[in-house]
Structure 1
Amino acid sequence: MAVASPETTNLNTAVDDGSAEEGGRRPQHLDRLSFSLVKLPHLADYLPNLQTITNPLENNQFYHPSDEFYLSSSDVILRQTVLDLSGNFRSPSTSPHLSYPRAGPRKLIFFDPSHVRAAIVTCGGLCPGMNTVIRELVVGLWELYGVREIYGVKAGYRGFYSGEPVRLNPKLVQNWHRMGGTVLETSRGGFDLDKIVNAIQDRGFNQVHSFYSLVPTCDT
Structure 2
Amino acid sequence: MLDPSLDFQIEQLGSCHFTSPMRGVQFADENERLLYHSSPEDLRPYIAAGLEPPSMERAGPRQQIFFDRHQLSCGIVSCGGLCPGINNVIRAVVMSLYHHYGVRRILGFRYGFKGLVKRHDVPPVILSPDAVNHISELGGTILASSRGPQDAVEMVDYLQELGVGILFTIGGDGTLKGAATIAAEVKRRGLPLSVIAIPKTIDNDICFVNKTFGFETAVAAAQNAINAAHSEATGAFNGIGLVKLMGRDSGFIAAQATLVNGQVNFCLTPEEPFNPHELMQKLEERLTRRGHAVIVVAEGAGQELMTVTGKRDSSGNLQLGDIGEWLRDTIKSHFTEIKTEITLKYIDPSYIIRSQPANAHDSAFCLLLGHNAVHAGMSGRTNMVLGSWNNQFTHIPIALATRQRKRIDPKGWFWSSVLASTGQQGDIAEL
What TM-score, normalized to structure 1?
A: 0.70
Matched-pair contact (CA < 8 Å) for 2:98–2:104: yes
Secondary structure at 2:169 match in 1: strand
Counterpart of 2:40 in structure 1 is 84
Q: Note the C-alpha offset of 1:91.
A: 4.0
Counterpart of 1:119 in structure 2 is 75
Counterpart of 1:40 in structure 2 is 10
Q: How does 1:8-23 map to 2 (within 5 A)?
A: none
Matched-pair contact (CA < 8 Å) for 2:76–2:107: yes
Distance in 2 between the 1:84 and 1:51 partners?
36
Counterpart of 2:92 in structure 1 is 136
Distance in 2 between the 1:175 and 1:79 partners?
37
Q: Aligned in 2, Cα 1:72/1:97: closer, same or farther, shift over 3 Å? A: same
Matched-pair contact (CA < 8 Å) for 2:21–2:101: yes
Distance in 1 between the 2:164 and 2:149 partners?
22
Q: How does 1:177-192 map to 2 (within 5 A)?
A: 177-192=136-151
Are 1:93 and 2:52 matched, yes or no? no
For residue 159 of structure 2, what is the amino acid of its counterpart? I
Secondary structure at 1:172 match in 2: helix
Q: Note the C-alpha offset of 1:214.
A: 2.5
Matched-pair contact (CA < 8 Å) for 2:27–2:63: yes
Q: Note the C-alpha offset of 1:51.
A: 5.1
Aligned-pair Cα RMSD in Å: 2.4
Counterpart of 1:72 in structure 2 is 29
Q: Note the C-alpha offset of 1:158.
A: 1.4
Secondary structure at 2:164 match in 1: coil
Matched-pair contact (CA < 8 Å) for 2:112–2:146: yes
Q: Note the C-alpha offset of 1:147.
A: 0.7
Counterpart of 2:152 in structure 1 is 193
- RCO higher in 1 or 2 (8 Å CA, sep ≥ 6)? 2
Matched-pair contact (CA < 8 Å) for 1:114–1:146: yes
For residue 169 of structure 2, what is the amino acid of its counterpart? S
Matched-pair contact (CA < 8 Å) for 1:6–1:40: no
Distance in 1 between the 2:94 and 2:39 partners?
38
Counterpart of 2:17 in structure 1 is 52
Are 1:160 and 2:116 matched, yes or no? yes
Distance in 2 between the 1:70 and 1:211 partners?
25
Q: Percent identity?
A: 32
Unaligned runs of 5+ in 2: 172-199, 204-245, 247-298, 300-349, 352-431
Q: Aligned in 2, Cα 1:102/1:51: closer, same or farther, shift over 3 Å? A: closer
Counterpart of 1:175 in structure 2 is 134
Distance in 2 between the 1:6 and 1:126 partners?
31
Residues 156-198 of structure 1 deviation map (CA, whole Å, 9 limit, x = unaligned): 1111122100001000111100110111111111412211111
Matched-pair contact (CA < 8 Å) for 2:87–2:141: yes
> In proportion to residue count, which structure has more strand?
1
How many residues were matched structurally? 171
Q: Note the C-alpha offset of 1:125.
A: 2.3
Matched-pair contact (CA < 8 Å) for 2:17–2:64: yes
Distance in 1 between the 2:160 and 2:150 partners?
17
Residues 133-172 of structure 1 deviation map (CA, whole Å, 9 limit, x = unaligned): 1111111111121110001000111111221000010001
Distance in 1 between the 2:95 and 2:169 partners?
16
Residues 23-70 of structure 1 deviation map (CA, whole Å, 9 limit, x = unaligned): xxxxxxxxxxxxxxx4321111xxxxx551110113xxxxx22xxx11
What TM-score, normalized to structure 2?
A: 0.37
Distance in 2 between the 1:122 and 1:103 partners?
22
Unaligned runs of 5+ in 1: 8-37, 45-49, 59-63
Distance in 2 between the 1:207 and 1:193 partners?
16
Stretch deviating more after TM superposition (97-106 or 143-152): 97-106
Are 1:211 and 2:165 matched, yes or no? no
Matched-pair contact (CA < 8 Å) for 2:16–2:64: no
Distance in 2 between the 1:173 and 1:93 partners?
49
> In proportion to residue count, which structure has more helix?
2
Distance in 2 between the 1:189 and 1:182 partners?
17
Counterpart of 2:380 in structure 1 is none
